[in-house]
Amino acid sequence: MKRVVIVASAESYRTADFLGAARLLRLDVVVASDGISPIAGASRVHIELADVERAAIEIASIEPTPDAVVAIDDEGVLIAAAASQLLGISCNPPSAVEATRDKAIMRALLARTGVRQPRFRLAGIGQIPDMAHALGFPVVIKPRTLSASRGVIRADDREGARAAEERVRKILAKAGKDPESDLLVEQFIEGEEIAIEGLVSDGELEVLAVIDKPDPLDGPFFEETLFVTPSRHPAHVIEASVGVVQQAVAALGLVTGPVHAEVRLSETGPNLIEIASRTIGGLCGRALSFGLLGESLETVVLKAALGVSTSDHEPTRPASGVLMLPIPATGVLSDVDGMTEALEVDGIDGVEVTVARGRRVTALPEGDRYLGFVFASGQDPEQVEDSLRAAAQVLSVTIDGESMRPAVE
């Protein structure tokens, strides 16, 4: 029986999905996590995610020796790489993974090999409005190391840039990061956005899914809503976008494992917004399934990590998608209404609310969570998009006593 260590944060949406996949593959699983609650069907090792070196040593000393170490989320990718290195398991160089965790390092490495991306500057305290002006408005101001669009803000003029800087610094302080650190200022790339889900092996990118984001993402905050696959963009656009992601993989030095990239399609071609060395976030992976057996994304990733190359990576269904439900306001969540009605919408496969009622929720750009996810499948992407939009129409969320609809067009 092969043994796999899954590195998960206590906040992860997907520990259960990875455990389910591991069970199907009859793997012996150890979950390395900062959580405290017991995990059914798996043994657990407690780690502190912030102490990469120590966590890696703890994972590497697990007996019997693990055959693979897989991180679920961004928070665990450095630990998984460092532990794999100690164990002599083929893995991404920690420096490559580090570049996916620090947007400034990522931009610099991409620039070195001329990968198409937004023009950018790294700016210190008080320099943001001038740097933004020099780049040309609109710009996007973002912290180097947060994720899930937390602290990512568009600014259209100097005053907007100043206000965004102040807000991002407060978000950094709240996240336990240095509020005085340099921030990234990037040219705002106009155009539709797609996501590319891939699997890298020996440095070569295999595309698992190209996902359209049919709702505009124009800011000032960038909450994700609709994801639909396959992409409806023309083949040459997809090919060029995949080319940019492959270049990014090479520029960063990623050689193995899953990657998730965001690409903006500007008038002049695709631009790499971000690449992460993990699978798609939240529960969105559930919208993807592969081969005749309908293998999950987690199954595909675990098999790849163990060097089992029997997977068929053709999509099982002609089209599928997910609606991420952003948190529409900051306050106490008292209810999510309309779940039964949403499930009755044609093409809807599932609705999952991931925040407990009674919990305090925080909207973007301060927050980094989603209220929940709605899954759909159908004969073509149009049908899937229609189903997800119809489901959004019947859902409503009550925060601090006020009822509101998900912000979907």
In terms of residues, how long is the chain?
A: 409
Q: Is 274 near ligand ADP (CB under 6 A)?
A: yes
Among 49, 128, 132, 217, binds ligand ADP (CB under 6 A): 217
Among 47, 273, 287, 374, binds ligand ADP (CB under 6 A): 273
C-alpha neighbours within 13 Å on the C-beta side of residue 150: 19
Q: Is 193 near ligand ADP (CB under 6 A)?
A: yes
Q: For ligand ADP, which is the closer residue by CB, 47 or 139?
A: 139
How many other C-beta atoms can be found within 10 angstroms of the C-beta atom of residue 369? 19
Among 32, 96, 148, 371, binds ligand ADP (CB under 6 A): 148
Say which residues have a Cβ less than 8 Å from residue 188's Cβ, sequence separation at least 6.
118, 137, 138, 139, 140, 154, 219
Q: How far apart are CA 265 and CA 316, in angstroms?
A: 27
Q: Is 149 near ligand ADP (CB under 6 A)?
A: yes
Q: For ligand ADP, which is the closer residue by CB, 149 or 387?
A: 149
Q: Is 284 near ligand ADP (CB under 6 A)?
A: no
Q: Is 351 near ligand ADP (CB under 6 A)?
A: no
Query: 315 has which bridge partners?
Result: 290
Q: How far apart are CA 307 and CA 105, in angstroms?
A: 30
Q: Is 311 near ligand ADP (CB under 6 A)?
A: no
C-alpha neighbours within 13 Å on the C-beta side of residue 289: 17
Give CA torsion, residues 348, 284, 149, 70, to 10 deg.
170
Q: Is 264 near ligand ADP (CB under 6 A)?
A: yes
**Structure token pair of residue 177:** 């990061």
The CB-of-120 to ligand ADP minimum distance in angstroms stands at: 8
The CB-of-244 to ligand ADP minimum distance in angstroms stands at: 14
Which residue intervals of 201-323 are DSSP H helices? Answer: 235-252, 297-305
Q: For ligand ADP, which is the closer residue by CB, 3 or 107?
A: 107
Q: Which stretch binds ligand ADP (CB under 6 A): 58-66, 86-94, 142-150, 357-365?
A: 142-150
Q: How far apart are CA 217 and CA 228, in angstroms?
A: 15
**Structure token pair of residue 322:** 């997910």
The CB-of-8 to ligand ADP minimum distance in angstroms stands at: 19
Q: How far apart are CA 314 and CA 99, in angstroms?
A: 30
Q: Is 262 near ligand ADP (CB under 6 A)?
A: yes
Q: Is 118 near ligand ADP (CB under 6 A)?
A: yes
**Residues of this chain that bind ligand ADP (CB under 6 A):** 103, 118, 140, 142, 146-150, 152, 186-189, 193, 217, 222, 262, 264, 273-274
